[in-house]
Amino acid sequence: MLEQGCVEVVGPAINRLEKLVVEDGHPSRDWVGKDAAKIAEAAGIRAPAGTRLLLAEVDATHPFVQVELLMPVLPLVRLPTVEDCIAAALQAEHGFGHTATMQLDLARQPPRDGAGDQHLDLVKNGPSLAASGFSARATPRSPSPRRPVKG
């Protein structure tokens, strides 16, 4: 992702970014839909013009995970097991019907089929668009039984 125009935010910069983009448990209206480089600059983070996304590795309870930010700030969460990942994704999703993605080390963690919940489309080792019926090349595939592809 770093090779594709994303910038990793680390250390105290994560706290500065959080204070800028989260207000009272909600996304800051001043930054919704804004450019990643402008958000970074306002938080005192160096990011080149054209930065596509700000990445921050945080724990599963962090506001970046729990709040739908509506801006180019993406939390990344590491957990020890597939079951922990699925449980955290279900909790963070709050029943909104969103998509969760996870990247697995298949040699260490065999994938588990399905999340066992009607409100979560789970994509393993692929783009989140796959949950909407698109492959990595954004070509339609068979629709999800819960969410038909609208064309």
Residue 32, Ramachandran bin (φ over 0: left; ψ between -120 and 50: alpha; else beta): beta
Give the per-residue pLDDT at 124.
Answer: 61
pLDDT band at 89, cuts 50/70/90?
confident
Mean predicted confidence (pLDDT) in 6-22? 97
* Position 76 pLDDT exceeds 80: yes
Beta carbons within 10 angstroms of residue 111's beta carbon: 11
Residues 107, 42 share a domain: no
Give the per-residue pLDDT at 141.
Answer: 41
Three-class secondary structure of residue 27 per DSSP: strand
- Provide the residue type at 88 as one letter: A
* Position 44 pLDDT exceeds 70: yes
Residues 69, 8 share a domain: yes
Range of the domain at 115: 82-132
Q: What rounded mean pLDDT belongs to the chain?
A: 79
Q: Across-strand partners of 100?
A: 122
Residues 118, 56 share a domain: no
pTM score of the predicted model: 0.72
CA distances to 15, 33, 74, 120, 146 from 70, rounded to whole Å, are: 18, 6, 10, 19, 24
Task: Please state which of the ranges 47-51, 59-63, 79-83, 133-137 shows the lowest mean pLDDT.
Answer: 133-137
- Residue 51 sits in a domain of what CATH number? 3.40.309.10
**Residue 138 domain flag:** no
Mean predicted confidence (pLDDT) in 60-76? 95
Residues 53, 16 share a domain: yes
Residues 65, 24 share a domain: yes
